Amino acid sequence: MAETNLEADMDLTARRPLQGVNVLELQGMGPVPFCAMMLADLGANIIRIDKKGAPPAVVPDNPVVNRGRRSIIIDLKSDRGQTVFQRLINTSHVLLEGYRPGVTEKLGLGPDICHALNPRLVYARLTGWGQTGRRAHQAGHDINYIAATGALHAIGETGPVVPLNIVGDYAGGAALALAGIMAALLNVEKGAHGQIVDSAMAEGVSYLLSFQYGLLACNAWEDQRAANMLDGSHPLYRTYECLCGKHMAVGALEPRFANQLFDRLEAHDLKALDLHDPHSLDVIRRRLEQIFLLKDRDTWAGLLEAGDCCATPVLSLLEARDDPGLADRGTFRHRHGLHEPAPSPRYSFQPADIAPAPRSGQHTRDILLELGYEASMIDTLLHSGTVSGELHE
């Protein structure tokens, strides 16, 4: 993509790192659109190829996650559709797909064909089980991947507690895939060709458990739930119910934080207890359960958050959106009529002012014009069903 003079003159410290990087996203769900959103937030130009006649998704189109890309609908099973796809590949730096292994190959869109057209393309594959192995072709969702890796087993008190799908889909999937894509792009800049990123959510979650596996190796972690310092069983690393039925989260593991907590709770005698003694920890748990039930959550929050005692109110999503502490840094923003989390982490450059989520096929005509198609040929492709979209955008 050619730079304008203005772009060429920009201070490189303020320039978005993926400005000028073209990403082709094959319509998917879960981690694929989230990964594309992060790429867009970093300045990439995202074109999403939507499926012609795709069935309704399990969840509705997400106006936050689907921001920052343009949409074209292509019949990839047609010869003319393949030609359009190939032109897009020739101008792309990254292809991002989340189909089961072998699907893109059957469509004629596999990495061998794409790299023959564009050797510098980063071909990123984001799946649950990866491209190989006995489970590679099995269906699954976040809950299945975290179950198979031990993460789900470790969460909860009596039985496993299902967390939000941020563990497998977005942490083990999208975030680690983004890291792989960035590394592959850097490798291409160093001269490498034919880069494939095989990102499996099950492997990503396993990787995220490296700390726990390290503790297991040191005999410092029990392979059962509710038996370890960081799984909610420790009295200074858990939640407590308050008078109102809401909860406070306590993470005062270190003695200096624990002592400040005890002082603010007016439980000064607890400071004399040994934080490594199981009986003492049981005493602390029972006392804190009794104390927190004496006041409502917001009262405790006002008393404890001012101190350095690692105690925080457990907020709902809507409460978090309006939390003054998060508002100080603009953790949430209001754009295009939506309240949404702002991109993270923060950089020396400003976040991209990206477009709202597109309608499916909204940009078909514009994209074809950019690929060099004449207006008459675009109308022919539209009327034949090779592509779909608005006749006059």
Tens-place pLDDT, residues 350-364? 776 789 999 999 999
**Number of domains observed in the structure of the chain:** 2
Same domain, 268 and 197: no
Would you say 356 and 63 are in contact if contact means Cβ atoms under 8 Å apart? Answer: yes
Instruction: Write down the pLDDT at residue 354.
Output: 87
Distances (CA, A) of 356 to 192, 350, 352, 365: 34, 17, 12, 18
Instruction: Write down the pLDDT at residue 12.
Output: 55
Give me the CATH number covering residue 193: 3.40.50.10540
Same domain, 376 and 273: no
Same domain, 140 and 266: no
pTM of the model: 0.92
Backbone angles phi, psi at 324, to 5 degrees: -60, -35
Give pLDDT tens digits for 145-161. 999 999 999 999 999 99
Query: Within a domain: residue 342?
Result: no
Residue 228 DSSP code: S
Residue whose C-alpha is closest to residue 201's, from 27, 22, 34: 34
Same domain, 171 and 125: yes
Give pLDDT tens digits for 282-309. 999 999 999 999 999 999 999 998 889 9
Instruction: Write down the pLDDT at residue 6.
Output: 40
Q: Is 89's pLDDT higher than 80?
A: yes
Whether 276 sits among the annotated catalytic residues: the reply is no
Would you say 25 and 32 are in contact if contact means Cβ atoms under 8 Å apart? Answer: yes
Q: Which one-letter amino acid corresponds to residue 364?
A: T
Query: Within a domain: residue 215?
Result: no
Whether 322 sits among the annotated catalytic residues: the reply is no
Query: Within a domain: residue 14?
Result: no
Catalytic residue of the set 93, 169, 231, 234: 169
Q: Is 125's pLDDT higher than 60?
A: yes
Same domain, 168 and 65: yes
The boundaries of the domain holding residue 270 are: 237-315
Instruction: Write down the pLDDT at residue 3.
Output: 45
